[in-house]
Structure 1
Amino acid sequence: MDQACRRVGRRVVHRPVFLRPGLRHAVRPPSGRARRDYRYIRQGAAQRARQVEEARQGERDAQVRVIIIAAVAAYVLLLLSNSGVLVGSELVQADPVRKAAGEAQDYFHCRYFTGRSVVEIDFWYSPNGFMGRAQCPFLVRL
């Protein structure tokens, strides 16, 4: 917003000059009531834009609060219950010589988060799930 000035007696009166969108030069608003209405409309639009932005920020804050509350509730539930959630798994291949002799078998090395620590559990591997597990279970009671 630029300042336009005019002389009234010995004083200099500064008036705002609005720069309308799409124009490269300042345009002085029309005189009288229309000028006042234009100023009020411009202020109202800015105020509405601020209100919309504040409403969006409020919605984002509410969503963040819900996510944080859900995460804290899940953590407390894991902490109080005697269970764990899978955080990582690895299929460990047995030595081929020992496997051929029947002394070794492939197994899953699974890591679970219990709320206090990470627990590691090994499960026998079986591709069909008959004599072992085809994958690590997602939830496990300890």
Structure 2
Amino acid sequence: MKAKILVAVALLVALSVAPAASAKLRMWLTVGDGKPRVGQPVTVTLRAERELAYDLKLIAVAPGKSWYDVVGVVTGDSSRAKARIPRDGFGVPVARVAPDSWRAVVTFPRAGKWRLIIPNGAPQGFMIPPPVVRTIVVR
């Protein structure tokens, strides 16, 4: 009986401190050409649902590589991540174009299914799962 009460209390505490789904920051990623060729510059636009005091990040993950390892190494936010940058993926410089928008230009060095990832919804660290993942088929 005491065990059931403790479980119920723990559940109530967990639910009361968990953030509401409505508190999540929505983000979007738009790619100028969804099927680019190797070496072709592609414009990418990142948007957040509201003005942010920090910049979003954009990371390109190579075909067949672990997004966690690439994001962890590029951001420096995971001591367990193991990736060979830029072979496994790379950070893409972004420029703020509005309080809630950023623009980037990415060039993919080889063919395959690349993933573009916005890894963060906060000024530091990265989120699991990432808030935005977009697959791009590079020819």
Structures share fold, TM-score greater than 0.5: no
More relative contact order in 1 or in 2 (CA 8 Å, sep 6+)?
2
Relative to the length of structure 2, the TM-score reads 0.27
- Which is higher, the Rg of structure 1 or of structure 2? 1
Relative to the length of structure 1, the TM-score reads 0.27
